[in-house]
Structure 1
């Protein structure tokens, strides 16, 4: 079996989202799949900037003759069908660059998917989405936010602070090269100063011909904690402005590589005043030790969605088998190309 097409994640500060609505008359006095498709089309018929393209049109609810909060309108009787949808857009140039990059690897892009939406498929439970939860995906360049309540995605946002900014802070504060700062962050970083061993020391390489130095882990934590606090406070402000801050009964789920840092969940609980857990992909097959990490939340979510599309009869990268087989094929492809 050869992989030919891929479902690709997309994120970044260019991502935009907004709410739209649409309404149609129910032709046969009973809602059909055609009616649902038509009302979604009317909701997505909005003006967007020419440099943006629609990535997702995500239904939040349907309304049949004034009856709100309908999740599945098929078969219901009525004369008017309405919907509220969450529309996500991304930069056309960013999408084109992703497609070009994938094609240079000998593959074709089947579809583009918002990264936090993909991550949510791998790390969130249906109960969490129902009761209210915010997913915070802390990547390298940006932090992606996705809010779920009532089983549907309600709000998305992007914050331009993430793991790379923490690395840069370490490089500047400790006067060490950026690659060494990244390694120090991964090996020795903790999110709260009180969790750092005051007697533990780390070797810090110097810049250029300068000699390496020895610093305490607490000195490192003193650099990391303020940046993470700033990030979480910015997320809190986004939640407050969106109106969903008080509707998150399931709390906060952190994912992405930075979420592996010891103490980050505790710091999150201090700031959000809500339960915080680390989101790990739900997968128990072969290679589980390799992929059951927050670093691969988006990738595993994309695989889940690709398999779901296949089961719905759509053409996707894998033409047979389940998620375990798809993971194995992806491993073989990476080993053969890198």
Structure 2
């Protein structure tokens, strides 16, 4: 195992002691490939005392990202190696071999649109799961550019004859089922570049999952999703937005701004190396600089003939605040542009690594003028066994990928990865070619 890869073991794990859990030994795995880190998780499917599906996390591994820019693969060998380190650590801690995984995807190549589909209903039996799938397939039959691939077709709401805004149509009698669906696409090259980095390790991809969908699974409550809520996952290279209402997905978007931009601003402002700026951000950063004493100073290694200098902690926080305010204003403008701003009474749920900066809730609440809270996977009732490290909002996407595996149903079309790979096997051929070049003779 690489020294850069970290098994996420800890004696402190989240448990719900009031629930008796039944383990099925069905093993599921997740891989979250982010701009700043790669996380692999292994879990097992369990049932709580009420018979509800849940997941117990058995182990995980995390390694710094290499070869990615804003969620997109730029260097296939580098990304493949980093993923391998995280997978090896997760297997080591969990004691399980990973044979397949749910893979998160994001990046500025993601695009979304809405479409409608129709299916006839057998009036004797009411709506069936097959009827719902046929309607979703109809919504899928839209023209998309030749260089793009559909990742998700997810129902926003349903209509049976004249009954509108139905959330779950199963069993409803009628003659005609209609669906209003949200379609998520990505560029074929970006999808295939990411896929081959996982396939190179002999691991099948159960499904590609848009990362804001996964994060939403992990950090949103059922009531928030029902009433209407925006989730913002503040990642390293991007900010992922998802708007939910009536338990349906209404809008998704990937913004080209994240925690790394904050770090870069500090590095430029202090003329310091990026790694130094990152440490200063995490250790001393605050998004409400007025709460920092004016005379509080911190030491930092910088460029130039004087390798160490002192800086005002308030000044560092002012740099971070400016970028955070810009991010909040961008989120606000995108919510308004989506035309769904009046549909989110539950407000905004922040998650992701950058959401942990002190003062984030107050800053976003001030600018967006709506309820704001931080969402963490440890709060989800169906997630058990999270180590202390994994309880952080930074691991919401990885935990959400495991939850996504539990909740597959007829509300969406699910695409196993093999349906996205060309039948001529060119991806696997390319993987084999360059991977062999890395191995000793």
Q: State the TM bucket, normalised to the shorter chain.
A: 0.7 to 0.9
Counterpart check, 1:303 vs 2:398: no
Distance 1:136 1:202, change over 3 A: same
Structure with greater proportional strand content: 2
Pick aligned residue for 1:169 from 255, 261, 265: 265
2:181 and 2:369 mapped to 1: Cα distance?
30
Partner of 2:311 in structure 1? 215
User: For the residues of structure 1 that align with 2:295 and 2:384, how far apart are their CA atoms?
Assistant: 41
- Aligned counterparts of 1:86 and 1:11: Cα–Cα separation in 2: 16
Residues 134-187 of structure 1 deviation map (CA, whole Å, 9 limit, x = unaligned): 000011111010001112111111111111111111111111011111111111
Indicate the residue corresponding to 2:117 in structure 1.
22
Shift of 1:99: 1.2
Q: Cα gap change, 1:11/1:233 in structure 2, threshold over 3 Å: closer, same or farther? A: same
Alignment of 1:29-108 (within 5 A): 30-108=126-204
Matched, 1:286 2:382: no
Please give the secondary structure, in 1, of the residue aligned with 2:317.
helix
Per-residue Cα deviation, 1:246-296 (whole angstroms, up to 9, x for no partner)? 221111110010001000111001001111111110356334312111000
Partner SS state of residue 205, structure 2: strand
Aligned equivalents of 1:67, 1:34: Cα separation in 2: 19
**Cα distance in 2 for residues equivalent to 1:60 and 1:102:** 31
How does the TM-score come out when normalised to structure 2?
0.68
What does the per-residue CA deviation read over 1:18-47, in whole Å, with 9 as the maximum and x for residues that have no partner? Answer: 110012322445322222111111111001
Match of 2:360 in 1: 264
Q: List alignment gaps of at least 5 residues for structure 1.
A: 317-338
- What is the CA–CA distance in structure 2 between the aligned matches of 1:148 and 1:80, rounded to whole Å? 25
Q: CA deviation at 1:108?
A: 2.1
What is aligned with 1:5? 100
Q: 1:335 matched to which residue of 2? A: none
The correspondence for 1:233, drawn from 285, 309, 329, is 329
TM-score when normalising by structure 1: 0.88
Contact kept in structure 2, 1:17 and 1:89, CA below 8 Å: yes
Q: How many residues align?
A: 312
Q: CA deviation at 1:208?
A: 5.0
Taking the aligned partners of 1:11 and 1:214, their CA distance within structure 2 comes to: 38
CA contact (8 A) 2:114 2:183 kept: yes
Counterpart contact for 1:121–1:304, Cα < 8 Å: yes
CA contact (8 A) 1:99 1:108 kept: no
Structure 1 residues 78-227: aligned runs within 5 Å: 78-207=174-303, 209-227=305-323
Tell whether the 8 Å contact from 2:121 to 2:174 is kept in structure 1 after alignment: yes
Name whichever of 227-236 and 16-25 sits farther off: 16-25
Report the Cα offset of residue 197 of structure 1: 2.7
User: SS where residue 170 of structure 1 aligns?
Assistant: helix
Structure 2: tracts of 5 or more residues without a match: 1-95, 417-441
- The structural deviation recorded for 1:309 is 5.0
The answer (yes or no) to whether the contact 2:234–2:351 under 8 Å persists in 1 is: yes
Higher helix proportion (structure 1 or 2): 1
Q: Do the aligned partners of 2:119 and 2:176 also contact (CA within 8 Å) in 1?
A: yes
Give the conservation status (yes or no) of the 8 Å contact 2:294–2:314: yes
Shift of 1:210: 3.3
Task: Say whether the 8 Å CA contact 1:9–1:112 is kept in structure 2.
Answer: yes
Root-mean-square deviation over aligned CA pairs: 1.8
Please tell me whether the aligned partners of residues 132 and 148 of structure 1 are also in contact (alpha carbons under 8 angstroms): yes
Query: For the residues of structure 1 that align with 2:201 and 2:392, how far apart are their CA atoms?
Result: 25
Tell me the SS of whatever aligns to 2:384. coil
